[in-house]
Structure formats: structure tokens, C-alpha cells
Structure 1
Amino acid sequence: MQYKQKPQKTLTGARLRSYAYALLTRREYSKAELTNKLLEYAQDDQEAIDFIQQLHEYGYQSDQRAAEQVLRSHLYKGQGPHRIKQKLQQRSLDTSYIDEQIQETDWFTEAYNLKIRKFGDNVEKDPKKRAKQIRFLQYRGYDLDIIFKVVDFSEDY
């Protein structure tokens, strides 16, 4: 069994900058994530930290944009506010960047659309099938009060 070797800290100057730009062209990184990535390969830690500060000042790196990207991608995947906040914490982002968007989102509609995609639009009477819907929506990160409304909601009323 081979173990993954620790990367060698060989990047300095232009190569370090090139690596940072390459990372940022693929996706938005939080400042903490980018710092961890660069410190993994940088020969001089202070050079990496200074460069990350420059990237932030020039607007190439933004925690605000990274948080908005997380919100958009997880909304598209049908995930609720708890899962989104959990992902923000994993990426070392503050939820205050997107609190307003989270408050303005109609979570009932999001959860209902997800329920329809997965289970259809009929109201389930069988307790086992109903519990399955509830567990699914809980796993996706929705509040219980919204889940119960969604599971019991029918557009026929």
C-alpha cells in the first residue's frame, strides 16, 4: 500500500501566483480555502499570505462571491437553508454574506418543487411513504414546519 506523500513546498514568485490564478479560474474560493491551498505548496508562507491579501484587495478573491456561488449551486440542487449554511461553514465562509438572500427565498416553494420532482404531487396517506418524504426533505436541509406543510399541501384545495 502506498501512502500519499506530502507535497513539496517549491512554489515561489511567479509560479505561486500562476497557481493561485489557476485555482481561481476554476471556481470561487474563500480566503481561508485559498490560503490553505497556497500554503500547501508555497516555500515562503508570508509571500503566499501577502499575495492572497493582494488578490482580495484587487477583487480577484471575494468571500461574498464565494458565498453567493454556494447559495446558487445548492439552491439549484434543491437543498434547504440548513444544508446551505453547513456548506458555508465547511468552506470557512460567514453566513452574514447571504443572510438577506436566505431570508428572501421562498423555502416552501423550493421544498414543494423538490417534493413534486421526487414523489409527485399527491398527498400521501400511508405513514411509511409519508415518513420517507419527511426524511428526504430533512436530509436536504429544510425546517420541519415547512416539511409538514409541504407533505400535507395539495394544489387541489
Structure 2
Amino acid sequence: MNDSKFPKLINYQALKQQLEDEADSAENPSATDIDRENDALSFDQDRTDKKTGLQGSRLRSYAFAVLTRKEYSKAELIEKLALYAESRDEVITLVDELAAQHYQSDQRVAEIMLSSQKRKGKGPNRIKMALKTKKIDSGLIAEELKETDWVLQAYELKVRKYGTEVTKDPKIKAKQIRFLMYRGFEMDAIIKAISRKEDD
């Protein structure tokens, strides 16, 4: 094969020299390279320092936008707004103001939760626990909790899961008790519910 027709595609000597030069400059960076790195670092630092959050009317508008989509407890709303706000104190003041004007209401959130949890077959203990996680005082719906027929609620749930038959088998009885306890019902309501006959 004639070398003139097939010139070398890669100049290995030149490539080797280039790699050695790059290795040297990585081990001994020039002043210019160091300056460039420092400039990049300071630029990144400036960007994080200048990161601004919402405040004033923009924060207020965002709070309204959040509340139009979903009801939030006071504690939840503070946490949500604080993620984007310039000042946590401003958020707390704003949320207090929104609560005073009834745009935000823990009472409404508690009532919505009570209704939703009852539909899902949850008992009073689970409902109180759900309210606690949202930092809502269960006293806000104390009257509704008291007025609810928890025996009927537990009975309907038991019927959906196990049917109307009142079992005498202690193992099945224990299973039903555990199921209703897990759902948040009190023992008194559970015993009445699993002993209740269809025509009672």
C-alpha cells in the first residue's frame, strides 16, 4: 500500500505532546486559570446571595392563589408561604390577617376533614390524629364529634367488610375488633357494633 495515497489520519506524536501539556497545566494551574475559577465561584455566591423571595403584594397574591385551590390550616399555610417568602415574620402576619378576614379558617378545614374522614370509614381517634398532624385543635369540631353516631359508623364499616352475621368465633371477633380499632373507633362503639344484629 502506498503511504502517499493513505496519509496518517492521526498524528500520534502531536497527540501525546498535547496530553502531556494538559496534564502539566492541571497539576500546575496558571494564575489566569485560578482567577477564572475564583470569578466563577464568586459569581455563584452572588447569585445565591441575591436570591429574593416574595414580599408585600406579591406574597399576598400568592397566598390568595394558594387558598383558591385548596383549604389550608393556619400552620400549613405558614409553612407553604414561608418556602417562597422573603421573611417568615411577614408570612405569619399575613396569615393572621387572612384568618381574621375569614379567607383562611381552621374551623372550615376541620369540618371538611371530619366529613371526608367519616366517608372513608375513619373513627374519632383517627380523625383527631389527622387534625393533630395539621396542627388543628380538635376542639373546633368537638360538638360534631359528640353528635356523630359512632356505633352506627362502626357497624356499617363492619357490615361492608364482614357482613351482617354476628360471629361467635373468638378469632373472627378479635379480627373484627382489631380492624375497627385500626380505623380509629373506641372499644365501647366496637363491641356494640360487632354484637349488633341486622334488625336492631
Counterpart of 1:10 (choices 53, 60, 68) is 53
**Equivalences for residues 116-135 of structure 1 within 5 A:** 116-135=159-178
Report the RMSD for the aligned CA atoms in angstroms.
Answer: 1.6
- TM-score normalized by the length of structure 1: 0.87
**Equivalences for residues 47-62 of structure 1 within 5 A:** 47-62=90-105
Pairing 1:82–2:128 present? no
Whether the aligned pair in 2 keeps the contact of 1:9 and 1:40 (CA below 8 Å) is no
Pairing 1:104–2:180 present? no
Partners of 1:151 and 1:50 in 2: CA distance:
50
Partners of 2:192 and 2:94 in 1: CA distance:
50
Whether the aligned pair in 2 keeps the contact of 1:17 and 1:51 (CA below 8 Å) is yes
Partners of 1:54 and 1:145 in 2: CA distance:
43
Indicate the structure (1 or 2) with the bigger Cα radius of gyration.
2
Structure 2: gaps spanning 5 or more residues: 1-50
State the 1:55 CA deviation.
Answer: 0.9
- TM-score normalized by the length of structure 2: 0.70
Larger deviation: 78-87 or 15-24? 15-24
Aligned residue identity for 1:41: Y
State the 1:141 CA deviation.
Answer: 0.5
Partners of 2:130 and 2:122 in 1: CA distance:
11
Q: Matched residue of 1:38: which SS?
A: helix
**Equivalences for residues 33-48 of structure 1 within 5 A:** 33-48=76-91
Whether the aligned pair in 2 keeps the contact of 1:123 and 1:153 (CA below 8 Å) is yes
Q: What does residue 137 of structure 2 align with?
A: 94
